[in-house]
A and B are shown apart, each in its own frame.
Chain A
Amino acid sequence: MILADGVILGREEQSRLLDELEDHINNTRARERLDTETVIAAIDQLGRRLAAGEFDGLIEAVGLSGKIEELRSFTRLLSRDYLKRKVDAELGTDWDVPTVSEAAFGLNGTQTRAVPLGTLLHVAAGNMDFLPAYTVVEGLLTGNVNLLKLPQADGGATIWTLQKLIGIEPRLRHFIYVFDTPSDDVTTLRRLAGMADGIVVWGGEGAVTAARSLAPPGAKLIEWGHRVSFAYLSGDWRAQTHQLTALAHHIVRTEQLLCSSCQTIYLDTRDMTEIEKFCENFLPMLEAAREEHPVEDIGAAAAITLENLTSEIEAMITGSAAEPCRKYRGKQCELTACEDSELTVSQLFGRVWVKRLPEEQLLPVLRRQKGCLQTAGLLCNERNRERLTDLLIRCGINRVTTPGGMSDVMMGESHDGEYPLRRYVRMVNIERPAGETRITDPSLNS
């Protein structure tokens, strides 16, 4: 399916549309302008209608009936208030209003303003149902024309969300084009990339490398690549039952699928027996959390069972002494006590590494993962908090949270160390010849 000009078209229309697309976009960019307020108003209304249950039938139709409640509870993130604060935090208040630099130092003055990058091609990865729509929303908030390549697994949720948004605010229709082009249709992707000023790519190394090869010279690449997160427990963890329970819930609730999910639990110790004691204590908490949040996906549950059975059988063949790490198996969850300190991605679905990492080793060990670090869920004594937070930041961590809140949204937070909206705009300077005092931007006179 393709969405163009607010209308859903079949794949067979793709070639005709691509032939005309550049002209359409040029037309839009020459004549139309999308202000943030228009976009916010439309999303706010979409959120309110979603909260009121108006789209429940549609959500069921695209196979997301199990997520209705979850979606509804997050509609606050579509509210005017939240979006306004997001835009203000990322771009500053009144970001599209020019600022003036008076002539000085023998230089002419300028008028500076942020304008949209132009046309963004979003290459949305993933099995999460609303990420593709959300990346387009970020492009719209900054006034860009958006071309979206849907991920393979999209069940139709993206197109209906964006079509509803256009229904609420028809002016958006010239700013949204969605294609379900498969990733191996390089010709089409290259044509789309050829029209873009910026390519926003979500995904791992494969997706990023592919996007780089597609990008014409001069197009800005905006990469949201993969990241790894961990929990860091310093001091006496035994007294922190409440925090550890929250960490256990975080692990099973996110299934460790997010960049912000805990992959490894580090203990600030050199002592392996401490690691073992921790595993013995933490496993019942993880199991209890798992009881509340069982693995929902039957395919994932089967994969875990099969992997466990495979390693059990292989341990019988080789003799379990060959196993380098000690496993603590619970029902649908597992802790693995390892001798090394490397930060590695877990086996997901409630299976976590537990490793030693004394404070003085934090920097040398974590620096080996530079560019891939995201969140550290820190548990420590209050008197050490500031010092450890600072050290984690020096290691390259972008978010420091409580262990249970590693994946919670925080007000005003950046994404992987950057404000996304800032990457979707450019700053332009208009020279103000000496003696001119009037600001000529028409928007200021309205």
Chain B
Amino acid sequence: MKWMNRLFRYPFPYDTEGTDQLFLRAVRENCRYQYLHNAKYRAILDGKGFHPSMLRTYDDIAALPVIPTPVFKHREMYTLPPRRMPVKATSSGTGGVFSRVGFTWGDLCRGLPMVLRVVGHRRLFSLRPANYIVFGYKPHRSNHTAVTKTAFGATLFTPQLHRTYALRYTDGRYVPDLEGVIRAILRFSRSRFPLRFMGFPSYTYFAMRMLDERGISLRLPKGSKIMLGGGWKQFYREAVDKSAFYALAKKVFNIDDCNIVEFFGAVEHPILYCDCPRHHFHVPVYGRVIIRDVNTLAPLPYGHMGLVNLISPMVMGTPILSVMTDDLGVLRDGKECGCGLTSPYLEIIERVGLKDIKTCAAGAADILRETGESV
């Protein structure tokens, strides 16, 4: 696993241009391993007429068969026996269907330097202790979601004094406790140590609005930060544009937008994306993103919206080398950002599917005879 390890130990986390050849070698190494050890993956490559040896140049990566994430939801795809994988994570899952991805010790060892480099690049590590409010799930042995693990991980960026969770595990289920969180915020705001928030943007926003509606405006200790992760997906209706979010954070907590950091990742593509000071998700060296045409799946140039193909050779335990999520996104030239990073950045626009689909046939009436169609 020479090339894979070398990629994840590469010292410059956003030097994608300088790592194209290394990335190709790591992808070929991973692909060969999966092909030899995973019969399901081999069946896919054979079915598509692809062989790992066909990965000769960097551009050949686009020809690598792409596995849509629902495949990992419908069946177990592990390459190694579960006993050899210390961590098995699931996606948050909608409708009770989860992707299952297993990680080996080697996978985790590759992940660690990546996290250190990306988080370090954004200067989130500090020796100064902090209090933590987690707008997410309190870890529990029954909870295998990646989002819970990463939220907990983010509380390890500094020594921690207290952790308060917005979602507590009580009587076999998670219950939100925003009032408890508000009380904790008020308490921690009087501390001399910084307060750090980590978790779902939606809960963070709810809590800020609750404080604002009560006329509360705090000056949190210097060094306080808001870290966001887990996406807006459950709360599309409450989704606010980011500028409104930043304005409210300034008003309620006196936190400037340079101290608001957002993470993005998926269990099927466990690469840590961290936004830059201009709040763009630049692609780090550990992954590559190809936006594909929604009809032909052909790769699209910068600036075009399409299906999001995420590629990373990090994991051996599960063949998540090249996956496709159910998001529509756009990749932009990194130079357009202006933050100094040159690697391209990804914008997730929306979920695939007809927006707010309501069809009579599928279960909800919709159209109008006025438009010439009978309902």
Q: Which positions in A face B, CB cutoff 8 Å? A: 70-71, 73-74, 77-78, 125-131, 134, 151-153, 182, 202-207, 224-229, 254, 256-261, 263, 297-303, 305-306, 309-310, 312-317, 331-332, 345-346, 348, 375, 399, 406-410, 413, 415-416
Contact = CB atoms under 8 A, between A and B. Distances in A.
A126 B353 contact: no
A127 B354 contact: yes
B358 A77 contact: no
A200 B294 CA distance: 38
Interface in B47-80: 47-48, 65-68, 70-71, 74-75
Nearest to B74: A314
B294 A301 contact: yes
B-side interface size class = 35 or more
A305 B40 contact: no
B370 A134 contact: yes
B365 interface: yes
Contacts, number: 198
Contact of A128 (B67, B70, B366): B366
A73 B372 contact: yes
Contact of B364 (A74, A130, A182, A203): A203
27 contacts: A74-B370, A74-B372, A127-B354, A134-B370, A151-B356, A151-B358, A202-B366, A204-B364, A226-B360, A226-B362, A254-B373, A257-B361, A258-B360, A258-B361, A258-B375, A260-B374, A299-B351, A302-B307, A313-B65, A313-B71, A317-B40, A317-B75, A407-B373, A408-B374, A409-B369, A409-B373, A415-B369
Nearest to A137: B370
Given A254-B373, A257-B362, A260-B360, 7 more contacts: A151-B358, A225-B365, A299-B355, A303-B352, A310-B70, A413-B374, A415-B375
A110 to B, nearest CB: 35
Contact of B365 (A224, A331, A348): A224
Contacts of B371: 70-71, 74, 128, 130
B154 to A, nearest CB: 30
Interface in B299-353: 305-307, 324, 326, 328, 350-353
A206 B363 contact: yes
A241 B20 CA distance: 55
A229 B14 CA distance: 54
Interface of B: 40, 43-44, 46-48, 65-68, 70-71, 74-75, 237, 294-295, 297, 305-307, 324, 326, 328, 350-375
Contacts of B307: 302, 305-306
A300 B375 CA distance: 21
A260 B373 contact: yes
A125 B364 contact: yes
Contact of B363 (A127, A226, A256, A413): A226
A306 B306 CA distance: 11
Contacts of A70: 371-372
A70 B295 CA distance: 25
B364 A309 contact: no
Q: Which 8 A-B pairs have the closest CB atoms?
A: A126-B366, A204-B363, A259-B360, A316-B47, A204-B364, A302-B294, A302-B352, A128-B367
Contacts of B365: 125-126, 131, 202-204, 224-226, 259
A379 B40 CA distance: 45
A302 B329 CA distance: 11
A305 to B, nearest CB: 6
Nearest to A298: B294
A31 to B, nearest CB: 31
Nearest to A86: B369
A345 B360 CA distance: 10
A129 B370 CA distance: 10
A346 B66 CA distance: 26
Contacts of B361: 226-229, 256-259, 261, 263, 345-346, 348
B255 to A, nearest CB: 27
Contact of B355 (A127, A129, A224, A345): A127
A314 B44 CA distance: 8
Given A126-B366, A131-B367, A204-B365, A301 B295 contact: yes
Contacts of A316: 43-44, 46-48
B347 to A, nearest CB: 15
A95 B297 CA distance: 59
Nearest to A182: B237
Nearest to B48: A316
A73 B74 CA distance: 46
Given A302-B294, A313-B68, A317-B43, A131 B368 contact: yes
A393 B253 CA distance: 67
Nearest to B44: A316
Contacts of B46: 316
A215 to B, nearest CB: 18
B322 to A, nearest CB: 11
Contacts of B326: 303, 306
Nearest to B293: A305
A78 B370 contact: yes
Given A306-B324, A309-B324, A227 B364 contact: no
Given A313-B67, A313-B71, A348-B361, A303 B374 contact: no
